[in-house]
Amino acid sequence: MRFGSAACSLAVLLLAACGGGTGTTGSGLGSGDLLVGVLAPFSGADAGLGPAYYAACLAAAPSINNNGGVGGRQVKCQQFDTRGEPADAVPAANQMVASNSNLMAVVGCTSDEASTVAPIVDRAHIPMFCMTGQSEFNKTRLPYFHRLVPADIFDAYAMVGWALYGPSPAPFHKAALVFGNDIGSQAFVDPATNAFTKLGGQVKNFPITLGAASYRTEVASVIAYQPDVVFTEALGSAGTFLGELKTQNGGKVIPFIGTSATIDPTWFQQVSGAIGVNDLVQNYGGVDLGYDFSGPAYTEFITNLNAAASTFSDAPKYKQRGSTLHLYDGIIMTALAMVATNSKDPTVYNPKIKEIANGGSGATVVHTYKDGVDALKAGKTIRFVGAGGENNFDQYNNSQSGYILVKYNAAGDEVKVKQLTPDQTQKISQAGGI
């Protein structure tokens, strides 16, 4: 086990905002700083994931700290590097829960390592908000697990929806699937294959080793297959692959459709640098949840995200990253749940997170931590609708929403082009086996 290389790659941030707020320590809320653990890859093939999740914490902490904290307690953010590898993730998770008695929540836990780390965090009774799409969590029995985005299977179906129902040059009929050969990446392959073939398309899988210096052989195989579209994610490697694909294909870019994880500033920068901004804008299609990027919750999120640039210069780049929005909301909801139960005990406040997310009859809708605390102090029940929009947790703590079809503009901003209709979504899901 590479314990030293993973678990000890820690970066601690004590926000300047920690001096803000005038709240007093609640009798049941304890004292001292609270910690949000960002358990995710900060190195390795999927190193681009961790910063997006870290940015969520940097934005959420001042929302809480500048408004009295959690009963006066201030929130800090700390990175725990899983390297995207289960062998490194396990000691990182064990070290995190063993050495931090003030751990209030964990964010991150991607498909790379969720299978191994989620049970560790659950046994420690710490609420976690995981960015894993693995189907094993669709009906999880882990009560401290929360997923604010759909499973990978729905991302796969949405990509099929773009290929079949998206704007010109769709519809497409012959797809090459280019994903990493790791477990998390390959989770997209079977559902996309099943749905696309049953709806009349042709599909072939071309798994690649993420982080390779070149994909000359794999690119040649894709070109020989003659697809009219490429489904991909390939975090950290998409630029290399697509750049070589353009070169070997006589300078012509084959249209490509990406998962929601490709709505990411690092991904945009890498791919546009490899094939050119114009070719990216003209040939890329992506899928995402239906975000508004507006309203009081988003306004506060953006303000804090921009301010975080003084500590983490790339933080403002994640203004339209879905995972950043959702994890921001998860941290806020956790803090509100602690206030609502007047408890520092996660066995007490964890169930309240779902109540605050889903609301109930007569619940007051709130969009910021401050408004939530004020409503709770007034004796009201609340429903939190945050920067990522509404959540609707099922009995397995999975929250799902509909998909939109998007493109990039030249500045790297997401642009909505269409929304899948309920009939289209149902047709794809049925073809995929749901």
Question: Mind listing the pLDDT tens digit for each residue in 210-224?
Answer: 999 999 999 999 999
Q: Are 93 and 120 within 8 A, CB to CB?
A: yes
Q: Where in the chain is the domain with CATH 3.40.50.2300?
A: 3-150+294-384, 152-291+403-432
Q: How far apart are CA 227 and CA 75, in angstroms?
A: 49
> Which residue has 């990039």 as its token pair?
408
pLDDT of residue 120: 98
CA angle 166, 171, 176 (to 5 degrees): 105
Q: Are 318 and 324 within 8 A, CB to CB?
A: yes
Q: What percent of the chain has pLDDT over 70?
A: 93
pLDDT average, residue stretch 287-301: 93
Say yes or no to pLDDT of 287 above 50: yes
266-278 pLDDT, tens digit each: 999 999 999 999 9
Q: Give the 3-state secondary structure of 241-271.
A: HHHHHHHHCCCCCCCEEECHHHCCHHHHHHH
351-373 pLDDT, tens digit each: 999 999 999 899 999 999 999 99
Q: Are 241 and 219 within 8 A, CB to CB?
A: yes
Q: What percent of the chain has pLDDT over 90?
A: 83
Say yes or no to pLDDT of 327 above 50: yes
pLDDT average, residue stretch 155-178: 96
Beta strand 10-13 with 75-81: parallel, antiparallel or unpaired?
A: antiparallel
Say yes or no to pLDDT of 43 above 90: yes
- Mean per-residue pLDDT of the chain: 91
Of residues 36, 111, 53, 31, the one with CA closest to residue 327: 53
63-109 pLDDT, tens digit each: 999 999 999 999 999 999 999 999 999 999 999 999 999 999 999 99
Rounded to 10 deg, the angle between the 369-377 and 322-341 helix axes is: 20
> Comparing 419 with 268, which gets the higher pLDDT?
268
Say yes or no to pLDDT of 15 above 90: no
Q: In what order do the strands lie in the sheet with 10-13?
A: 10-13, 75-81, 34-40, 103-108, 128-130, 145-146
297-325 pLDDT, tens digit each: 999 999 999 999 999 999 999 999 999 99
152-291+403-432 folds as Rossmann fold (3.40.50)
229-270 pLDDT, tens digit each: 999 999 999 999 999 999 999 999 999 999 999 999 999 999
pLDDT of residue 6: 37
Say yes or no to pLDDT of 172 above 70: yes
Amino acid at 139: K
Residue 22 pLDDT level (bands cut at 50, 70, 90):
very low
Q: How far apart are CA 45 and CA 142, in angstroms?
A: 28
User: Residue 404: helix, strand or coil by DSSP?
Assistant: strand
Side-chain half-sphere CA neighbours of 68 within 13 A: 18
Residue 49 pLDDT level (bands cut at 50, 70, 90):
very high
CA atoms 312, 314, 317, 320: torsion sign: negative
pLDDT-wise least confident of 166-180, 317-331, 391-405: 391-405
pLDDT-wise least confident of 223-232, 335-344, 418-427: 418-427
Say yes or no to pLDDT of 280 above 80: yes
Residue 114 pLDDT level (bands cut at 50, 70, 90):
very high
CATH of 3-150+294-384, one of 1.20.1600.10, 3.40.50.2300, 2.60.120.260, 3.40.800.10: 3.40.50.2300
Q: Are 417 and 167 within 8 A, CB to CB?
A: yes
pLDDT of residue 27: 56
pLDDT average, residue stretch 383-401: 91
Kindly write down the DSSP assignment for every residue of 163-226, as one continuous string.
HHHSSTT----EEEEE-BSSHHHHTTHHHHHHHHHHTT-EEEE--B-TT-S--HHHHHHHHHH-
Residue 434 pLDDT level (bands cut at 50, 70, 90):
low
pLDDT of residue 17: 36
